[in-house]
A and B are shown apart, each in its own frame.
Chain A
């Protein structure tokens, strides 16, 4: 019982990280109708930004996080402007391949600057006390509490932003019908830029949480969580924001459960296997919208 609860809590924590990343995938897909496979590498960039600010420039921890948030946000907008905007209206395969190219570009730039050797994340400022729950033997680590809290706060903020603000309304309008939105005076390009910025900012926060849990980073750090988060986004129904949150938690819990009860070796096989089953049974994902065919 203790193991189960412990595992579930860890799963929720890992799922939070996936959910934060999955939100970036799903929002960009919803608005720009493209799969931004470079999104996972934004986490890596965020992690290296934190590393550089704290370990190399000796700034305090909060400034490291702030610089990662700003740098990733700007980077997301710049990538969209340079790589994807010129391909607006191009076949989706072209955009997809470009995104993979951007992914490799980011990884190799990081390899040039920081070399392949893994670096320890200098997150001493984010060392929070563990929480022991009575005498049940359950211990919730500080980073787990921090990760879950941060994720919940960010999700509430995002939900309010999408539903309550002018830009949020513009984003929903653009994701439904870009041309009609344009004719209502909405600047579609600016809306897409803001979407990339928000997605990348969430990824920067994810890189903080990831760094806290895994402690070491290398240039390919973003790939695996990126792909898992993509799985989560598809699982929840790509394009759906609640779907990405739900999908993230499901994949995270599934991953922890299977490594605790089945085998750590098979964890990835099980996670991706579940995705395949999902796509066969319910191609639109858990909360995905049905695709309406217009005749």
Chain B
């Protein structure tokens, strides 16, 4: 949550300075303490109370205690609110309450300053030490039940705050069904509930499920054929091994992680500028998954890669984690904005790595979890010294967030690449320029003006074939132009730089609890520390090696999160793995394992998996294999009436849940099935899909910040699409792509007509249908039945039925006959139909 920016208007604040000129009156009224004389009570009841009731009690009376303040009794007023006593006992004339009603610091009531006469009455009352007001509160106390849960022995016992203990694997009756311990946990619960596991999925469904699951892509016809032909018991294991070795595995699973860390490539807000080199972080994540980097290392690198003893380039790039969020370059309140940024880090880190929604404790103790406000700021202290992404007019983004990376060898190689590029460019120019020089000398009339547009030159050159130049010369010229364009598109990547975290130096400024989240209202100073309800050790903060300009605090945080003893880290991660494999976590609220999260459906299984992750040295691929080789994973998605009746939500995993493909999978599949997906172009800067002008029209400068990419670039996988926060690609957005301003642990799964409109009518999908039709022509020649068969096979990855083929043939023929369209066009419309099939976007 965020701090209200209107604290000045809504809470009574700090006591700063003093009212002068009232000292004499104060002396005169010394000792006039309440409840006071009948006269004083009358003054209070008749003059003071009506003002309080009309203007103050709505927020500061009865049960209402905004800012912790109630004005209903002397005791309450003296105790005051979050920012201290409203009326000073020793010096009532110098009271916060008086400053507030005089609009001298805080402004109360916020709806407008009271008339002078009313202020005078209240001032008189305050200076009389609140004479006449009731001494003790008679207001209802806040309901204890609804107060924030305290950190105590009871709350510390909450399941996810306890150390992971490896549970014994149960022994179910259906021993034969148990292929690995996962199955034992699952089937035991099914037996207790008188349910049976669904039969195994058929092989094509299983292959499709596994291939999308691990790579986000459909299986190829050859892969289908090979799997169907392999009758050995290890056939599926071989498939899983093959998929885990595929470089496209990393592309699929990196996407999950990018959702979590709110990955985007621009800053949002008015300028929504691009983040330089941010794609290196994306590539780092892809490579980390592909290399099967242990999860604890993955955590350490992202949180503190720069502070590790071996700060490799990869580890530096990983700290780009800190730079992925939104950045307000023109803050209304620059001091407050520092803490908005820190809040983003506390919140994201808490949710992603620990499954705790600590962000809620920024302004007050967490209302639902035992996270006191003090704990929030102790956690914030780990990030207190982190420099902002940039400060407009002061610290540039380059100075604050970029660093040159790379070994001397890499620099050498870079220099060579640049030299080679320049040489090739020069050589291309050497072939282009002589021809152009000849033509330039021959230009006539308006051609002279047009010549300055490089794009127009080829047509003027072409016009002179046969007169000034030969066909051969033109062909060479055209080829050289194409070569030069290609070169320019593929410039060697700039000097190796990375987006990274930086700190202000080796000493952090102090961290204070901020009253109601207000950066201008500093409370108690706190030291870095972990959430107390987790019974954590004290942070082991060590100064990093000489030459590293940071405090070592983030490393201490990273080491604690990545330790086997942390009760949450492994649980959170295995639960996420389960969620992505099975469509929902054992805890459905995958970023909230706290009090308000959903309880785990299979707590023992969760703990067993967590201990297994740690025991397997935090390797992820091993966990994938374990989950996918279980019978639980390999069940059919078919319903049976009895089970549906008993457990309609499949809480107990009596079957495998169907799922719709994600936005990226849908786009990638469109390109994959028609043979145009460019799988080889992995990594590097992102590309720009063609954005419909209707969408660009929503920008204040239509087209700004959206480049043009070549057709080859545009055929890359969706993970390489440029993520611009204020300009979502319609297809990705409508199929529930993540909103990247905050962490996205679970994607929505909506069904809406906008999706249908996009899939039916968008130029992109219509073009893909045309490419698909061409592909069918190549694969199946002119035989319509064969074309339809191949199309359905590609889209569903199974053998179509005769009826399905006949239906397609009929559609194509009717289109031709009744609507007088050509055969290729009718085929294109059939392809469009095929790409809209439910079966294309849903997995069994």
Chain A complexes with chain B: no
- B residues with a Cβ closer than 8 A to A are none
* Chain A interface residues toward B at CB < 8 A: none
